[in-house]
Amino acid sequence: MTAVILATACAIVYGTADFFGGLATRRSRVLAVVALSQVAGLALILVLLPLLPGRLGGEDVLWGLAAGVSGAAGLVLFYRALATGVMSVVAPTTAVTSAALPVVFGLATGERPSFWALVGVVLALGSVLLVSQSPGGGEGASPGSVLAALAAGAGFGGFFVLLALAQKEAGLWPLVGARLSSISVVLLLALATRRALRPSAGGLRVIVAAGTLDMAANVLYLLAKQHGLLSLVAVLVSLYPASTLVLARQVLGERLRAVQLAGVACALGAVALIAVA
């Protein structure tokens, strides 16, 4: 039950971070938002290190570094897919792939959730597909954009898998490695494309909020994984788009489509099934 609570809280915080990130990208360039939010997250994890101490081990930091590269690559590929494809195809393809990869990895490495937990996993994957749907049809989706979306989902899913490979005793050190490598990737990308990383006026607070919430969610994920199976924790975490939708409805007044409301309902059902399993 502890893992379910932590993973569900992680999904809520991830979704809130994405909401703030979406607000930030309306005011500042995407690369500036990504880079500065990553720095804000690094600052938070350095503050939390003394509060949640762990053993500094080279192997665990390496897993974190690899996770950071995987996550950063997923982000770049996701934006590339959005630029060349149709959002109503790219978003759900990326979301379901990122959710399915840790489940497959967990089952392949010997995890055996109960029957009802597996039913909850299937329901959760379906809910991610539904809540990620955006207005408009999938006409015109190119094979290249679909492949980029699949690769982006693999990058995001790889982030969760690689972090899970770090030892429990490492504490938050893998997240330090992950953030250092992701910041390096983004900075190199900014240099290669000659993009400025200066936020627009008044945008820094929102960017910092997005970055700190994202790192807080990462911490909750690590804690959840320490108490539960990767195949269950990761799929619960992947429900984060539902909280983003709810915030968009409550704060911005955006209307939810019937398919998205069905997805939110499926997400709640999935959490309940996994919790009681």
Structure tokens at 8: 């569900």
Whether 191 contacts 31, CB under 8 Å: no
pLDDT, average across residues 31-46: 90
**Residue 24 confidence (pLDDT) above 70:** yes
Q: Distance between CA 81 and CA 85 in Å, rounded?
A: 6
Q: Taking the CB of residue 142, how many other CB atoms lie within 10 A of it? A: 13
Most confident of the following: 12-26, 158-172, 238-252: 158-172
- The torsion angles phi and psi of 257, rounded to 5 degrees, stand at -75, 160
Q: Distance between CA 225 and CA 204 in Å, rounded?
A: 32
Give the pLDDT of residue 86: 65
Tokens 């693999």 map to which residue? 154
Give the pLDDT of residue 12: 93
Whether 159 contacts 1, CB under 8 Å: no
**Residue 52 confidence (pLDDT) above 90:** no
Say what angle helices 87-108 and 230-237 make with each other, to 10 degrees: 160
What's 28's DSSP letter? S
**Residue 137 confidence (pLDDT) above 70:** no
pLDDT, average across residues 20-45: 86
Q: Distance between CA 69 and CA 65 in Å, rounded?
A: 6
To the nearest 10°, the Cα dihedral for 28, 137, 270, 255? 60
Based on its alpha-carbon atoms, the radius of gyration of the chain, rounded to whole angstroms, reads 18
pTM of the predicted protein model? 0.85
Give the pLDDT of residue 28: 81
**Residue 66 confidence (pLDDT) above 90:** yes
Structure tokens at 276: 């009681």
